[in-house]
Amino acid sequence: MLDQKFVRDNLEAVIQNCDLKNVHIDLEEYSTKEQRRREIIQSTQELRNKRNTVSQEIALAKKNGQNADAIIADMRSVATQIKEEEVELKEIEDYLQDILLHIPNMLHESVPHGKTEDENIEIRRHGDTTVNVEGVDHVELCSRHKLVDFARAAKISGSGFAVYTGKGAQLERALINYMLDYNRDAGYTEVMTPQLVNTEAMTGTGQLPKFEEDLYKCAHDDLYLIPTAEVSITNLHAQETLSFDQVPTRYTGFSSCFRREAGSYGKETRGLHRLHQFHKVELVSFTRPEESYDELERMVSHVESLLKSLNIPYRVILLCSGDTTFGSAKTYDIEAWSPIEQRWLEISSCSNLTDYQARRAGIRYKPQSNSKPEFVHTLNGSSLATPRLMISLLENNQKSFGIEIPEVLHSYISFKEV
RNA sequence: GGAAAGAUGCCGGAGUGGUCGAACGGGCUCGCCUGGAAAGCGAGUGUGCCCUCACGGGUACCGAGGGUUCGAAUCCCUCUCUUUCCGCCA
């Protein structure tokens, strides 16, 4: 959420920014109501001031045994007036709040302008993309080696789910453990958080109210299944003020991720490409505002080092304005190479949300031990989402005899090849 | 799921309708004292919003939301959470 005052003072820039992100909002009515809001507040405050003053006079009169009936009768109309103004104010503030929650975060100046993903910019790439182009794809590999059973997953849950079996299940578990350890060793504190969260948490990180239809909801209990651990980890510090020495704070956590993926059909959804439930290890940082863009670079290189250690060819993409998500000021995607499909697969997304989530969720810190609290900057990134990692890993490591397990995973798994 | 108790500022803890943004204690910050420290003494110490160039002023906030009243931390209703006991359960 943007600061209300910022929107008031920078209306043109905010409108332009909405355009750049392909978000269409009418801010003309907002502007009018914003002004009306301040008028009412001024008027109501004056009335309250009067009420407070006179109430004390009444108390004093009663104390002295004087009759205060006339003033009380007078104050009755003031009370009514206050109530009327409060009703209008509430209506206006609800409206303004709703609009504010639908305004995207301001983009960083370094983000290239563009409408679609075609205008994203490749920053760098690493690894050999010429090996194993002659092999078979991950769906065939999964079936041949009985690593994933899509048919039975469909039987029990429908399309878009996976049952990992045998060595497939072990490999999945090994990857998760390896990534968690790798992140922990780099200074991220490991957390294991709830996968069902309430409306406040979903609003705090920005999934609600705009993206409700992408979420699974448990209507009975008013809880949502998280689409990413970013939600529960970022909200760990919602409505808190961190002390100066708690910033930066870095977390890593594993979770299942649940996404309805309404409207996704066709080739993009084949095999492990797009699932309703998948596994992901997440990184979340809370930083000082002046350090958040350094933190973003740091996070990206950390994820890169993880991919290097697994010997996965990848490239780093800077998303253009139109492709940068709602709450993000700047996002890098990291894509792993699929040698069989001959294309790059989005496997991680690292974003600086600046103070956008912090303001929604009320996450502050004190720059110094005795200074006023300010909003932190929050960042998150995947390290990594397993399904497409699995695709790339299986395809890149297939040999004549089967699949070779990368060396860094050997201590996490009971076999060296499939 | 049933029963009971509770939720107040950074922490502990008063306060049951009228100068209560909130006593008191602790913590913290600054100053004095000291060779230095401790102890002691003095001052200060929340957040949001509105008005103001500013100084400053106003207003709201005592778990959340409603209600009663001229006036609510205090009374009423609903909800959430915590603790204890019972039930159920991996």
Nucleotide nearest to A76 (CA to C1'): B70
pLDDT tens sequence across A328-383: 999 999 999 999 999 999 999 999 999 999 999 999 998 887 788 899 999 999 99
User: How much of chain A, in percent, has pLDDT values that exceed 90?
Assistant: 87
A238 and A95 inside one domain: no
Q: pLDDT confidence of A135, banded at 50, 70, 90?
A: very high
Using the 3D structure, point to which of A102, A128, A161 is the last residue of a domain.
A102
- Cβ neighbours for A70, distance < 8 A, ≥ 6 positions apart: none
Nucleotide nearest to A79 (CA to C1'): B70
CATH number at residue A91: 1.10.287.40
Distance A283 CA to B12 C1' (A): 37
In a domain, A108, yes or no: no
Specify the pLDDT at position A383: 95
Nucleotide nearest to A374 (CA to C1'): B47
A69 and A121 inside one domain: no
Using the 3D structure, point to which of A102, A127, A144 is the last residue of a domain.
A102
The order of strands in the sheet holding A314-318 is A121-126, A314-318, A330-338, A343-352, A377-385, A277-287, A249-258, A189-191
Distance A78 CA to B67 C1' (A): 18
In a domain, A418, yes or no: no
In a domain, A51, yes or no: yes
Distance A369 CA to B31 C1' (A): 19
Q: pLDDT confidence of A281, banded at 50, 70, 90?
A: very high
Distance A246 CA to B38 C1' (A): 30
Specify the pLDDT at position A265: 65
C-alpha A21/C-alpha A52 separation (Å) is 48
A56 and A171 inside one domain: no
A348 and A408 inside one domain: yes
Distance A62 CA to B17 C1' (A): 13
Distance of CA A417 to the CA centre of its chain: 36
B strand bases under 7 Å from protein CB: 18-19, 28-29, 46-51, 58-60, 66, 69-71
In a domain, A74, yes or no: yes
Specify the pLDDT at position A63: 81
Domain range for A201 is 117-412
A66 and A127 inside one domain: no
Specify the pLDDT at position A208: 93
Q: What is the mean pLDDT of chain A?
A: 94
**Beta-bridge mates of residue A197:** A224
A74 and A212 inside one domain: no
In a domain, A310, yes or no: yes
- As for how many domains chain A has, the answer is 2
A90 φ/ψ angles, rounded to the nearest 5 degrees: -60, -45
Average pLDDT over residues A319-331: 97
A161 φ/ψ angles, rounded to the nearest 5 degrees: -130, 160
Distance A218 CA to B4 C1' (A): 31
Distance A320 CA to B29 C1' (A): 47
Residue whose CA lies closest to nucleotide B19 C1'? A56
A122 and A84 inside one domain: no
A10 and A121 inside one domain: no
pLDDT at A268 exceeding the cut of 90 = no
C-alpha A160/C-alpha A270 separation (Å) is 9
Please indicate, yes or no, whether the overall pTM of this predicted structure exceeds 0.90. Answer: yes
pLDDT tens sequence across A208-247: 999 999 999 988 888 999 999 999 999 999 988 888 888 8
In a domain, A260, yes or no: yes
pLDDT at A267 exceeding the cut of 70 = no
pLDDT tens sequence across A168-185: 999 999 999 999 999 999
User: How much of chain A, in percent, has pLDDT values that exceed 70?
Assistant: 99
Distance A297 CA to B30 C1' (A): 40
A89 and A195 inside one domain: no
Specify the pLDDT at position A366: 86
pLDDT tens sequence across A302-318: 999 999 999 999 999 99
Specify the pLDDT at position A17: 97
CATH number at residue A217: 3.30.930.10
A132 and A200 inside one domain: yes
Specify the pLDDT at position A391: 97
Specify the pLDDT at position A155: 95
Using the 3D structure, point to which of A51, A73, A102 is the last residue of a domain.
A102
A96 and A158 inside one domain: no
Specify the pLDDT at position A66: 84
In a domain, A232, yes or no: yes
A88 and A125 inside one domain: no
- Cβ neighbours for A378, distance < 8 A, ≥ 6 positions apart: A234, A284, A285, A286, A287, A353, A354, A356, A357, A358, A363
Nucleotide nearest to A86 (CA to C1'): B60
pLDDT tens sequence across A101-127: 999 999 999 999 999 999 999 999 999
In a domain, A110, yes or no: no
ipTM value = 0.89
Residues contacting nucleic strand B by the 7 Å CB criterion are A 3-5, 38, 41-42, 45-46, 48-49, 51-56, 58-59, 62, 72, 75-76, 78-79, 90, 369-370, 372-373
